Structure 1
Amino acid sequence: MTAILGISAFYHDSAATLVVDGELVAAAQEERFTREKHDHRFPKKAIDYCLDEAGLTPEQIDYVGFYDKPLIKFERLLRTFLAFTPAGYRSFRQAIPLWLTQKLHLTRELSRGLQGRYAGRYVYTDHHESHAASAFFPSPFEEAAILTLDGVGEWSTTCFGIGRGNRIQLTDEIRFPHSLGLLYSAFTYYTGFRVNSGEYKLMGLAPYGDPVYKEAILKNLLDLKEDGSFRMDMSYFNYCQGLTMTSKKFHDLFGGGPRRQETEIGRREMDLAASVQAVTEEIMLRISRHVHKKTGMKKLVLAGGVALNCVGNGRILREGPFDHMWVQPAAGDAGGALGVALFIWHQLLEQPRHPRVGDSQKGSLLGPQFSDEQIGDTLSALSAVYTKYRTDDELCDVVTDLIGKEKVVGWFQGRMEFGPRALGARSILGDARSPRMQSVMNQKIKFRESFRPFAPVVLREHVDEYFQMRRGEDSPYMLLVAPVQTSIRTPVASEDATARGVEKLRICRSSIPAVTHVDYSARVQTVDRHRNPLLHHLLSRFYEKTGCPVLINTSFNVRSEPIVCTPEDAYRCFVMTDMDVLVLGRYVLIKEEQDKQAGEADRAAHLAQFQLD
């Protein structure tokens, strides 16, 4: 037996994965256990979970892999500081203590994190090599072009190459400071969202605006070539030398300073979001065409933070030259932990690879799971009121009736998802046919911005009936945006045709309005009975009753918190929001019944236990 532990840590989204004899056994992000969103610290709890899942101790691990090369990254920091001295001193002074005490002593830190019980070999892969491995090795393809795009690794910001059999080779790159990920993050910062976590908000905001600044971006900020390569005019940016992303020159070009967080989002921010999204899609399309031309491959795999731009992914699939595409569901830094472990197994140890139909990611359901007995013990300790159903059939029958009555349902089943998306294990579900669900779930459940869209989960066998995708097309990881079919769209009244900005929200655009974005797009997740049989059962029963094979699926969390991990996390989220129903395994909790049963003292005690009062 060969056990390989992969680790990403100390930058963004720390995570651990465990591969045993080439099989992906477990993977999880540290944030799910510590409840600190995007936790970057050493993933001790995630490692403990992975080892427990496999029944192994640190002494039984054969290799530990880390997802990038810190010494080369430190070289970039020093070179960048010298290139911009003295302007970069404040940034350098802030970064250097952490490097001197921790990041330059990574082997020591890893050994300490494993309690000094691991005595084997440490392997450090290049950052984009880790991304490439995470994209290709779990994919269903025997050979494919590989494209990785993110902010920055050591020096690379974009790479492409080829994967064949059990080997990957990256051949071309774009280097720091020229970065599509950092360009997008600069606009994330400028429009008032948090860098490294607010980029998806910017993508969701884009359809409310018009790309009126697209030409200004292309003319002033970067020199874009036909092959998708580009160089940025760094006088508009501040991330090399300062503590912010954009410079005064950038602010002058776009009419003022950055929006302050939590202030009103105006027309300018919407148009800026639309503009940088349009530029990003154009770059992604040009690069993908160039990669196809250079590699001659018919299939493409993607990873890196930019690969979470599902609008760009959808355009590559629909308009690009590749026949098929697979995107790593944990495309960001967390997925690097998976990539380095698989790289060691296949490329370093030269073990064969046998691609599987669909993929070998196991639906990305790789986190902790809890038995009905464990859930029952938790609910009893909480004095919760519940009904337990004997079979999945009974459970799905009851839950679909509740969803049909416009109840918002917390759905907690099986193993937790690895990656940023809830895929039907730690999800909040609702009726996509309801015109009011989008605003209700945003404001009363998620406590987040009203403009944010929700994603549909759809039976794969019906995907082409509702979305402009091929019949039976696979999109299990919610990483492709597609237009809603014209056949289910609702004509817009003449008085609504001129609606601008968030006014567009009030317009019903299709027979599934809660998951139809204002530009008639949707971030589609397909479900089949193999990857997620229980969710497929639930959707099938809802389809039988309503004729609609689509539900809302959003992550089971509230704003600024990670997705729930344990039954306790789920119960906490249930009691602190206006969620109507909580389903934990085969246990169903109705909010009204909890309120009836529990007096004020009991409810206060429950909240105090979870530190919610």
Structure 2
Amino acid sequence: MSTTALGISSYYHDSAAAVVEGGHIVAAAQQERFSRHRHDAGFPALAVASCLAEAGRKLDDVDVIAYYEDPRLKFSRVLATYLATAPRAWRSFRHSMPEWLGWKLRTLGVVREELARLDLGAVPPIRHFRHHESHAASAFLPSPYESAAVLCVDGVGEWATTTLWHGRDRRVEPLRELRFPHSLGLLYSAFTYFCGFKVDSGEYKLMGLAPYGRPVYAPLIREKLVDIRPDGSFRLDTGYFEFLYGQVMTGRRFAELFGGPRREPEGPLTEREFDLAASVQLVTEEIMLNLAAAAREHTGERHLCLAGGVALNCVANGKLVESGLFDEIWVQPAAGDAGGALGAALLAANGPRDHLGSGGDGMQGARLGPGYDDDRIQDHLDAQALPYRRLATDELRSTVAGLLADGKVVGWFQGRMEFGPRALGGRSILGDARNAEMQSTMNLKIKFRESFRPFAPIVLAEHAGEYFDLRQDSPYMLIVAQVAERRRLRQAGTEHLRGLDLLRVRRSQIPAVTHVDHSARVQTVARDTDPDLHGLLTEFHARTGCPVLVNTSFNVRGEPIVATPEDAYRCFMRTDIDALAIGSFLLLKSDQPPWHEDTDWRGRIPLD
């Protein structure tokens, strides 16, 4: 009889829940999608209820609760850090200790109380695993490999910041570990903070900013901030950072090193920020390549699995693929803390890896959240007296492909919701990648975010090689590749351009998804994993000769990806999206009644 496990991550960043039965992942979702608070770190009550509902289970049917880290071991690191930095860290110590002594030390008891409050049955026994152990399990156990090297790289768990594992059969065996405060995630977050972005959410922005600059500060980073060693390890000079002492990442010494104070949030971007982003990105790639080389040497494996927040740096992942160190890499699509809930559930269930027989992975395209059938969607539309057309599958795809070919932007709400930070075709906004104005239109009029932010392409897997220099499939939008040379355009007289002026240059036949360095964060779409999206791309390809579309998450800046039909319609009406394809229904903006809200919704949403 198989074990049913409910995994939980909570209280620090991106809380989530997951249900695993034996070796099969049944459901996984982040709390933010339901609470509508981005990066919600509270107890994931709504995510738990959703995952149990998807599984058709109550708590009575669950054999074990799996928590993703060890609270007491985490407390030992927090306390040791305060003792080592006293009295300088007194203010932070005074602020955080009451929480630790009041409830964080008994987190597992709090989890039990919260689950009991849901009134979904008796709470089963609770087990905990270590933070990086949960990451490692989430990376290897659903992967398509019988065995693999496993790297987990993030800010910090309990003590570990970087770990190497050997995945074989149903197990992940620990091999090497780097400990706090020597952390690649915290190094990258320090530059995120210094460049005026929010830590734990602005790292994507820093990565997107990097191609606009030159890595002129990279030698200084290597000389002063991080000692990169031949064995793959590294050490930070903590005297330049402030994260040991409180809530900020950098202070006076860091500012002196880089020529002045940190950029104020929402302040103008200057050449310094472009160059800082380029520099820390280059150093990050170097460290990841060193770690990967060490993983190859220590395990002898030809496949690599990745998890932890740094594994979401898809530019570095692309460099790993290009390096040829491994035949192939596989990245957990929910690589951050949310994925820890899944990893813990997989460890507790300890079931067979049946997906290996199919030749694919166990993540099911990351479509692990709730889905809504046509009856549920129609009930909502009819209750609000909203005008729509109900179309057969082929007619819906044909009509939407025509709208996209005509330059329209379409909200695409189909099937189950994705697990992880990327929209993969379940909750997406789509546009024509050939349209040179599409990037600025989507950024400024739909996403309400900075103009420099790049968009990602989705491409038919069977045609990916015609447009991108991609050595392997990239189903989870976690690998950056170069746009193929034959698709690029040459424009003379642009060599002198710097910074955001580079946005004015049309670089390829698919300019809306070609970044300023000719790169793109590619998602390959296969028929067997996403027939809806594959069918739409096939129809668009037949109409236009182009198998590529823009895909961005169905949300606006500062808001989580939409979860429900109600969320989707609200986002549709708040933005300049032209049409909404939701289940079998198509809604055109021009047909909708006027949209009114009593308050200014943009003023209520945090900028990050």
**TM tier relative to shorter chain:** over 0.9
Q: CA deviation at 1:353?
A: 5.7
Rounded Cα–Cα distance in structure 2 between residues aligned with 1:524 and 1:322? 19
Q: CA deviation at 1:284?
A: 0.4
Q: 2:381 aligns with which of 376, 379, 382?
A: 379
Instruction: Give 1:590's aligned residue.
Output: 588
**Pairwise mapping of residues 271-350 of structure 1 onto structure 2 (< 5 A)?**
271-346=275-350
Instruction: Give 1:551's aligned residue.
Output: 549
Rounded Cα–Cα distance in structure 1 between residues aligned with 2:98 and 2:478? 38
AA aligned opposite 2:220? A
Q: CA deviation at 1:609?
A: 11
**Pairwise mapping of residues 46-445 of structure 1 onto structure 2 (< 5 A)?**
46-115=47-116, 117-346=121-350, 355=356, 356-389=358-391, 391-445=392-446
Give deviations 1:274-294, integer Å, cap 9, x for gaps. Answer: 000000000001110111011
CA RMSD across the alignment: 1.4
Rounded Cα–Cα distance in structure 1 between residues aligned with 2:369 and 2:502? 38
Contact 1:484 1:516 in 2 (8 A): yes
Contact 2:115 2:123 in 1 (8 A): no
Rounded Cα–Cα distance in structure 1 between residues aligned with 2:208 and 2:334? 19
Rounded Cα–Cα distance in structure 1 between residues aligned with 2:361 and 2:109? 35
Give deviations 1:512-568, integer Å, cap 9, x for gaps. Answer: 000000000000000001110010000001001111000000000000000000000
Give deviations 1:44-68, integer Å, cap 9, x for gaps. Answer: 0000011111121112210000000
Rounded Cα–Cα distance in structure 1 between residues aligned with 2:565 and 2:141? 33
Q: 1:513 aligns with which of 500, 507, 511?
A: 511
Moved over 4 A (4+): 350-354, 608-613
Give deviations 1:241-286, integer Å, cap 9, x for gaps. Answer: 1221012111100011111111111111110000000000000011
Contact 1:87 1:242 in 2 (8 A): no
Give deviations 1:158-184, integer Å, cap 9, x for gaps. Answer: 000200111110110111000000000
Rounded Cα–Cα distance in structure 2 between residues aligned with 1:612 and 1:289? 46
Rounded Cα–Cα distance in structure 1 between residues aligned with 2:287 and 2:208? 19
AA aligned opposite 2:3? T
Rounded Cα–Cα distance in structure 2 between residues aligned with 1:448 and 1:579? 15
Rounded Cα–Cα distance in structure 1 between residues aligned with 2:156 and 2:602? 38
Length-normalised TM-score, structure 2: 0.96
Instruction: Give 2:448's aligned residue.
Output: 447
SS at match of 2:116: coil
Q: CA deviation at 1:120?
A: 2.5
Is 1:581 aligned to 2:582, yes or no?
no
Instruction: Give 1:474's aligned residue.
Output: 473
Contact 1:17 1:47 in 2 (8 A): yes
Instruction: Give 1:562's aligned residue.
Output: 560
Contact 2:409 2:578 in 1 (8 A): yes
Rounded Cα–Cα distance in structure 2 between residues aligned with 1:558 and 1:119? 37
Contact 1:61 1:118 in 2 (8 A): no
Give deviations 1:446-466, integer Å, cap 9, x for gaps. Answer: 000000000000000011110
Change (3 A) 1:589 1:149: same
Q: CA deviation at 1:3?
A: 1.4
Contact 1:345 1:351 in 2 (8 A): no
Rounded Cα–Cα distance in structure 1 between residues aligned with 2:417 and 2:384? 22
Is 1:41 aligned to 2:42, yes or no?
yes
Rounded Cα–Cα distance in structure 1 between residues aligned with 2:432 and 2:309? 30
SS at match of 1:26: strand
Instruction: Give 2:606's aligned residue.
Output: none
Q: What is the number of residues matched between the two proteins? A: 598
Q: 1:532 aligns with which of 530, 533, 536?
A: 530
Change (3 A) 1:502 1:538: same
Q: CA deviation at 1:611?
A: 6.9
Contact 1:65 1:122 in 2 (8 A): yes
Give deviations 1:407-431, integer Å, cap 9, x for gaps. Answer: 0100000000000000000000000
Contact 2:10 2:44 in 1 (8 A): yes
Rounded Cα–Cα distance in structure 2 between residues aligned with 1:522 and 1:97? 46
SS at match of 2:215: coil
SS at match of 2:562: coil
Contact 2:45 2:114 in 1 (8 A): yes
SS at match of 2:469: coil
Name structure 1 gaps, 5 residues minimum: none
Q: CA deviation at 1:612?
A: 8.2
SS at match of 1:6: strand
Give deviations 1:177-203, integer Å, cap 9, x for gaps. Answer: 000000000000000000001001000
Aligned sequence identity (%): 55
SS at match of 1:114: helix
Rounded Cα–Cα distance in structure 2 between residues aligned with 1:328 and 1:431? 28
Change (3 A) 1:354 1:452: closer
Is 1:490 aligned to 2:489, yes or no?
yes
Q: CA deviation at 1:610?
A: 11
Q: CA deviation at 1:21?
A: 2.4
Contact 2:71 2:106 in 1 (8 A): no
Rounded Cα–Cα distance in structure 2 between residues aligned with 1:358 and 1:454? 27
AA aligned opposite 1:525? Q
AA aligned opposite 1:564? V
Q: CA deviation at 1:111?
A: 1.2
Rounded Cα–Cα distance in structure 1 between residues aligned with 2:107 and 2:444? 43
Rounded Cα–Cα distance in structure 1 between residues aligned with 2:232 and 2:386? 56
Give deviations 1:568-597, integer Å, cap 9, x for gaps. Answer: 000000111111111111111111111xxx
Rounded Cα–Cα distance in structure 2 between residues aligned with 1:59 and 1:584? 34
Length-normalised TM-score, structure 1: 0.96
Contact 1:166 1:353 in 2 (8 A): no
Q: CA deviation at 1:352?
A: 6.2
AA aligned opposite 1:544? A
Greater Cα shift, 50-59 or 195-204: 50-59
**Pairwise mapping of residues 20-35 of structure 1 onto structure 2 (< 5 A)?**
20-35=21-36
Rounded Cα–Cα distance in structure 1 between residues aligned with 2:122 and 2:341? 18
Rounded Cα–Cα distance in structure 1 between residues aligned with 2:449 and 2:353? 46
Give deviations 1:49-103, integer Å, cap 9, x for gaps. Answer: 1111112111221000000001000000000000000011111122222222321
Rounded Cα–Cα distance in structure 2 between residues aligned with 1:88 and 1:493? 55
Rounded Cα–Cα distance in structure 1 between residues aligned with 2:601 and 2:253? 46
Change (3 A) 1:609 1:566: farther
Q: CA deviation at 1:2?
A: 2.5
Rounded Cα–Cα distance in structure 2 between residues aligned with 1:531 and 1:20? 21
Rounded Cα–Cα distance in structure 2 between residues aligned with 1:103 and 1:612? 34
SS at match of 2:436: coil
SS at match of 1:115: helix
AA aligned opposite 1:550? V
Rounded Cα–Cα distance in structure 2 between residues aligned with 1:289 and 1:17? 32
Is 1:2 aligned to 2:3, yes or no?
yes
Rounded Cα–Cα distance in structure 2 between residues aligned with 1:220 and 1:298? 34
Name structure 2 gaps, 5 residues minimum: 604-608
Rounded Cα–Cα distance in structure 1 between residues aligned with 2:67 and 2:211? 38
SS at match of 1:140: coil
